Amino acid sequence: MSDGTAKPRAPGFETRAIHAGTPPDPTTGARNMPIYHSTAYVFDSVDHAAALFNLSTFGYIYSRLTNPTVAALEERVASLEDGRGGTACASGHAAQLVAFFPLMSPGDEFLASRRLYGGSITQFGRTFAKFGWKAIFVDSDDPENFARALTPRCKAIFIESIANPGGVVTDIEAVAKIARGVGIPLIVDNTLATPYLCRPFEWGADIVVHSTTKYLCGHGNAMGGVVIDSGRFDWMQNEKFPAMSQPEPAYHGITFHETFGDMAYTMHCHAVGLRDLGPALSPTNASLTLTGIETLPLRMERHVANAAAVAAYLESHPKVAWVSYAGLDSSPYRALARKYAPKGAGAVFTFGLKGGYEAGIKVVEACELFSHLANIGDTRSLILHPASTTHRQLTDEQRQAAGAGPDVVRLSVGLETLDDIIADLDQALA
């Protein structure tokens, strides 16, 4: 957490990526954050234990709720997003569930962009429906569509900053204004952009979620997710959020907003969400992710440089029909990318071949350096045909709306030598 207690100058992004949340270990002096493989933590006394269970003192009880290695990761990502607090989870999808849990009751609704990672569309549309939570999907290209779709039971709006798979950029500031106008939080999935390229809180978002599985961990070796709260949303402005504004019977009638102030949402995510839903992050994965984040600024710079060069190469290739990359001048999202991600439009994007579906499949299979798999944000270059994999569960219409039609090929451009990346695509296209 970057509470900046009277420091003359806040440390820069690169410094926080390495140091936030991880001072030297006070007992051993270990400079790297130890992996605390402990399920539980000894109480000083019966009174201490009771105070911990009442949430009247901070401390560790049980690693489903909090763990020191996991807490270090929460603090680091919160710092990079300029947020107030964080809740780490076992995956990006777990983070989305935990993010919505304090906001929603059965019968409630929320608005979500149609342009989301396919797994999120399925999670929201099908699985959340079993909790009585209704997702209303909206074409995010015109932010006014969100205003038009609002209902009295809407408790949040959910968008991706740079959307998977097409690299489409959403007008965060415009959507934030609509959410603020009706007193509900804007949740932004910032997975593809990372806080290095885009910081949604600067544009009025209230909550950020990440699949840390992708660029934050960065090496394709650990699942994880995190929910970051800006600490700025006023939970008392209306009656929409009883979990924050009303007494909580399971904790002796405390009111989260009154007791925890700007940490209310983060405390609820831990003390109720993680406690009862249970998707805690393992300390080993937290450690791998902490290490990954240390090089996030360097990696993102190179990811973006390689992606921009690959997009330009593909756009000029005679067999390529179109390229959807917001960093290209030809992209309708170029202006939004300049505003929200001025250091680069990410490194995940899509293209289509003049030969359509058949040609696309052939390119995926002919690549040698690119790995054919369902992930993004790895050091390695990755290639995928979304319609038959990540977006397979969707209807044809949902796939088209999400930018994952039958001819679409998705790339996640890695950190290999640029000439090698282009040479691999060149031979596959040939």
Ligand X SMILES: *Cc1c(COP(=O)(O)O)cnc(C)c1O
The residue ranges that bind ligand X (CB under 6 A) are 91-93, 117, 119-120, 160, 164, 189, 191-192, 211, 213-214, 223, 225, 376
Contact 371, 380 (CB under 8 A): yes
Cis geometry, peptide bond prior to residue 165 (ω within 30 degrees of 0): yes
Q: How many helices (H) and strands (E) does the chain have?
A: 18, 16
Q: Which is nearer to ligand X, 216 or 328 (CB)?
A: 216
Alpha-helical segments (H) within 164-241: 172-181, 194-197
Q: In the complex with ligand X, which residue's Cβ is closer, 79 or 191? A: 191
User: What minimum distance in Å lies between the beta carbon of 424 and ligand X?
Assistant: 23
Q: Which helix (H) or strand (E) holds 396?
A: helix 396-402
Smallest distance, Å, CB 375 to ligand X?
A: 8
Tell the smallest beta-carbon distance from residue 119 to ligand X (Å).
5
Cβ–Cβ under 8 Å, residues 224 and 285? yes
Cβ closer to ligand X: 71 or 116? Answer: 116
Q: How far is the CB of 116 from ligand X (least distance, A)?
A: 7
Cα(312)–Cα(293) distance, integer angstroms? 28
- Provide the 3-class DSSP secondary structure of residue 287: helix
Choose between 91 and 381: whose C-beta lies nearer to ligand X: 91
CB environment 59-75: b (16+ within 10 A), e (fewer): ebeebbbbbbbbbbbbb
Q: Which is nearer to ligand X, 85 or 92 (CB)?
A: 92
Minimum distance, C-beta of residue 211 to ligand X, in the bound complex (Å): 3
Closest CB 318 distance from ligand X, rounded Å: 31
User: Of 133 and 256, which CB lies nearer to ligand X in the complex structure?
Assistant: 133
Other C-beta atoms closer than 10 Å to the C-beta of 23 total 10
Q: Which long-range contacts (CB under 8 A, 24 or more apart) does 62-65 make?
A: 63/38, 63/39, 63/280, 63/283, 64/274, 64/275, 64/278, 64/280, 65/270, 65/271, 65/274, 65/275, 65/280
Rank residues 194 and 255 by Cβ distance to ligand X and give the closer one: 194
In the complex with ligand X, the residue whose CB is nearer, 63 or 213, is: 213
Residue closer to ligand X by CB (options 120, 381) is 120
Smallest Cα–Cα separation from 269: which of 259, 282, 280?
A: 280
Residue nearest to ligand X (CB): 92
Q: How far is the CB of 255 from ligand X (least distance, A)?
A: 32
The amino acid that residue 283 corresponds to is P
SS3 208: strand
And the tokens for 343?
């250091």
Least separation in angstroms between residue 215's CB and ligand X is: 9
Least Cα distance to 33 among 73, 83, 88 occurs for 73
Comparison of 191 and 324: residue with beta carbon closer to ligand X:
191
Decide whether 121 or 243 has the Cβ nearer to ligand X: 121
User: H-helix or E-strand containing 57?
Assistant: none
Token pair in block for residue 41 = 């933590």
Q: Minimum CB separation from ligand X for residue 367, in Å?
A: 20
Q: How far apart are CA 42 and CA 270, in angstroms?
A: 19
Q: How far is the CB of 160 from ligand X (least distance, A)?
A: 5
We find the least distance from the C-beta atom of residue 332 to ligand X, in angstroms, to be 20
Q: Which burial class, exposed, middle or buried, applies to 106 when counting CB atoms under 10 A from its CB (0-12, 13-18, 19+)?
A: exposed
